Amino acid sequence: MMWFWNRIEGHSLPVRHWCDQNDRLGRYGWTRHDFHSFGIQEIVDKNVVFETSFVKYANNSWRSRIEAKPKYAEHSTSMSPSVPISLIFYVATQRPQDRLQVLPFNAELKPNSNFQIEGHSHDLGDFRMSFTISKNRANVLFRNYLNTVSDPPLVYLKESLLKNLVLFDINDIQRNPIFVVNGDSFDKRDQISRANFVAHQIVFSSAIELYVEFQTLSSQSSSQSSTHSTHSVTIESYKNELQKRSLQFDKDFELKFGLEEKKFSQNEISFAKAIVSNVLGSIGCFSGYSSVHSDPSEEPVPYGPLQLLTGVPSRSFFPRGFLWDEGFHQLLISEWDRELSETMIESWLSLMNSEGWIPREVILGGEAEARVPKEFIVQKTTNANPPALFLSIEKLLNNGNVDIKWLHKVFPRLQLWYNWFNVSQMGQISGTYRWRGRNPNTRKELNPKTLTSGLDDYPRATHPTDDEIHLDLRSWVAFASRVMARIAELVDKSLVAQYEETAQYLSDNELMDSMHWSDKHNMYCDKGLHSTQVTLIKVRNKSDNGFEKERKVVIPPAYDCVPELGYVSLFPFMLTLIETKNPKLAKILDDLENPKLIWSSHGIRSLSRKSAYYQQHNTEVDPPYWRGAVWINMNYLILKSLHYYSSTPGPYQSRALSIYQRLRQNLISTVFTEYARSGYVWEQYNDMTGKGQGSHPFTGWSALIVLIMGEKY
């Protein structure tokens, strides 16, 4: 669906096509969505509010109806209500054998109030869509449609439509020009037209209510299908069904998260419901080929065909699958719907190649590629991503309702994936691990990024070498070993001992301390060839005689601890590898509480305020990312760990509880307050002000705030 304002000055057209945060909408998102059967959404664009909803009916064929209620927001002065608004609904198919056709005009279908499209696609079979204006038809200024060929249709829909717009003056409507699709007359459809792209335009001056019905067609005759499609569900019955499902959603939500029982306000509960709804409403099914590079090949090759059912971090900025993000997504989705979560985890595991590698970023199809910078499209089979799916599987095990048959089904792939980590990401010394993919030759970055770790610009060893070792990766493998032992206990007891042995070896506190603890800096850390002082300086660019910034190493590097206190140094704590009596746990709790280091009133910051990298750009153009901001996924793991240590006997039990209670309240207050102010959940939060930063709406792992509210760990 596309909509745009018509403006007189210069005839500029602010077109809304796909979800883009640069559109700067006041607010948009699902307020109710259960993934399976219904959803309600609100979109606020300047002085117009759009309310949309859908219901999926379960009878002989799959059908849904969409209700749209655009209306002018009260007390708005940013735009006169007389300025026309265009809504354009479009349908496209992408295979050569697919087809679309606009049905001939039929007087029995209420002239100027009903528009129908029939089509056939490989995935859906035969289908029909009908559009009916149910209220305020007098507000409609113009209706038209375009049927054309767009190649390929799903990537260039916007361009195909814009090149078919023409200016059309309606002098008796305050002389506002209207841009309309240069297509066929709406009320003179006397012949069937065929295309792979059909756009139906409605131009209106004030509030209208529109119903859209989609139905897959059975073997019934065309006339029978037409009657059934148009009259099977009345508007009143639709509203009743929508209300019924909304009430059921509310009951299910309280049963699963218990926020009323925890005495949250109705505004806070509505906020949490919207977050869960946006997580579920953002789930997408992607198909196509991934571009993959494998050594020793020089060029990437297509990998597939693949199909992936996944959550996305952000509809507006990251509308695709990310491997380690999905582990956090499933923590929330599994709380809502165990079977759905198991299906989605299995979908990710199905992407695995024969060696056990899974792409860390899944970009399938032309639409997905159009939203991704070229340098991120190719996936390398040497590069990993944190195995955060084990977090979700552990939660399924802890909830006690995991499907044993499903565990048997996915266990072989989990074994292969686990073994791939142990072989491909192992360090040069037994028991150590190293993220691949760092660039040792970069001259532009203050600290070479480690994209594969998921923590991007978090400072690591300044001079990447093959003998550096990474604390967080070791912690992930130790944690995965522990979960694999639990799964083996249910599906193959003969394998329990080997996974337990590895888990105990990697979690052995004395061994871990000898490899990753620094007495000098009193912290856990990476180790590698590291300079404690580097800077970006301006140098002359030989190509255009201008200036650019390059890295200068002030102090020569030495192999040592990378003394950067923050999320990486907390990983043994976050994944509960530290024994409850280990005195190093006390030091970590000290650091957590210290506002001069990583404690803030808005959550635990990603990097200590005392770090030389705190809030520093990594290049001339790359702003700080994991260098001080508060991230909800890491704070969830910190709370989960504090919850564990506060409920497990040990000398630091009461202290862990105190920190847990204060941190939990700070996080809830920050995310809710910023949502109330801005209308959005954000990718990250400023550690000093609590303001949202990065992409929005970000109902990927930031949605874990609902589990934090419900204390579901």
Binning pLDDT at 50, 70 and 90, where does residue 226 land?
very low
Kindly report the average pLDDT of the chain as a whole number. Answer: 89
C-alpha distance from residue 333 to each of 395, 479, 672 (Å): 11, 21, 20
Q: Is position 225 within any domain?
A: no
Measured in degrees and rounded to the nearest 5, phi and psi for residue 146 equal -125, 130
pLDDT tens track for 621-673: 999 999 999 999 999 999 999 999 999 999 999 999 999 999 999 999 999 99
Active-site position among 468, 526, 683, 687: 683
Same domain, 189 and 266: no
Binning pLDDT at 50, 70 and 90, where does residue 163 land?
confident
pLDDT above 90: percentage of residues in the chain: 66
Asked whether the predicted pLDDT for residue 7 surpasses 80, the reply is: no
Per the listing, tokens 């998260």 go with: 257
Same domain, 433 and 421: no
**Which tokens is 631 given?**
């991230």
Per the listing, tokens 């967080």 go with: 472
- Tell me what pLDDT residue 547 has: 87
pLDDT tens track for 438-474: 999 999 999 999 999 999 999 999 999 999 999 999 9
Is 99:194 a contact under the CB 8 Å cutoff?
Answer: yes
* Structural domains of the chain, count: 4
Q: Is position 230 within any domain?
A: no
The pLDDT of 424-429, averaged and rounded, is 96
Q: Is position 573 within any domain?
A: no
Measuring CA to CA, which residue among 357, 361, 365, 328 is closest to residue 345? 328
Which of 40-54, 147-161, 656-670, 671-685 is the least confident region? 147-161
Top-confidence residue, 415 or 75? 415
Top-confidence residue, 397 or 123? 397
Top-confidence residue, 606 or 76? 606
Binning pLDDT at 50, 70 and 90, where does residue 221 land?
very low
Same domain, 47 and 162: yes
Top-confidence residue, 698 or 64? 698
Measured in degrees and rounded to the nearest 5, phi and psi for residue 288 equal 145, -155
Q: Is position 249 within any domain?
A: no
**Crossing angle of the two packed helices 338-349 and 404-424, in degrees rounded to 10:** 40
Number of CB atoms found within 10 A of residue 223's CB: 8
Which of 94-103, 307-316, 629-638 is the least confident region? 94-103
Q: Is position 328 within any domain?
A: yes
622 is catalytic: no
The pLDDT of 331-343, averaged and rounded, is 98
Same domain, 513 and 622: no
Domain containing 407 equals 258-274+281-382+389-425
Taking the C-alpha atoms of residue 465 and residue 318, their distance in angstroms, rounded to an integer, is 31
- Tell me what pLDDT residue 140 has: 84
Same domain, 9 and 94: yes
Asked whether the predicted pLDDT for residue 5 surpasses 70, the reply is: no
Same domain, 421 and 458: no
C-alpha distance from residue 234 to each of 238, 241, 289 (Å): 6, 11, 42
Taking the C-alpha atoms of residue 182 and residue 335, their distance in angstroms, rounded to an integer, is 49
Q: Which of 564, 592, 626 is the last residue of a domain?
A: 564
Three-state secondary structure along 667-707? HHHHHHHHHHHHCCCCCEECCCCCCEECCCCCCCHHHHHHH
The pLDDT of 237-252, averaged and rounded, is 95
Asked whether the predicted pLDDT for residue 79 surpasses 50, the reply is: no
Q: Which helix (H) or strand (E) holds 81?
A: none
- Local structure of 646: helix, strand or coil: helix
Is 196:98 a contact under the CB 8 Å cutoff?
Answer: yes
The pLDDT of 471-482, averaged and rounded, is 98
The pLDDT of 358-386, averaged and rounded, is 92
Same domain, 182 and 123: yes
The CATH number for 123's domain is 2.70.98.110
Is 2:17 a contact under the CB 8 Å cutoff?
Answer: yes
- Tell me what pLDDT residue 392 has: 98
DSSP 78: S
- Local structure of 15: helix, strand or coil: strand
Output the pTM of the full model.
0.93
Q: Which of 564, 587, 622 is the last residue of a domain?
A: 564
Active-site position among 456, 467, 513, 593: 456
- Tell me what pLDDT residue 148 has: 81
Same domain, 214 and 356: no
Asked whether the predicted pLDDT for residue 227 surpasses 50, the reply is: no
Same domain, 538 and 601: no
- Tell me what pLDDT residue 24 has: 86
Ramachandran category for residue 136: left, alpha or beta (phi over 0 → left; psi -120 to 50 → alpha): left
Top-confidence residue, 348 or 138? 348
Q: Is position 251 within any domain?
A: no
Q: Which helix (H) or strand (E) holds 87?
A: strand 85-92
Q: Is position 649 within any domain?
A: yes
Taking the C-alpha atoms of residue 682 and residue 452, their distance in angstroms, rounded to an integer, is 22
Which of 60-74, 255-269, 391-405 is the least confident region? 60-74
Same domain, 366 and 437: no
- Tell me what pLDDT residue 272 has: 98
Q: Is position 10 within any domain?
A: yes
pLDDT tens track for 503-521: 999 999 999 999 999 999 9
Q: Which of 540, 564, 588 is the last residue of a domain?
A: 564
pLDDT tens track for 521-548: 999 999 999 999 999 999 988 777 788 9
Same domain, 559 and 594: no
550 is catalytic: no
Which of 59-63, 256-260, 455-459, 674-678 is the least confident region? 59-63
Same domain, 558 and 608: no
Query: Beta partners for 284?
Result: 310
Which of 49-58, 327-336, 387-396 is the least confident region? 49-58
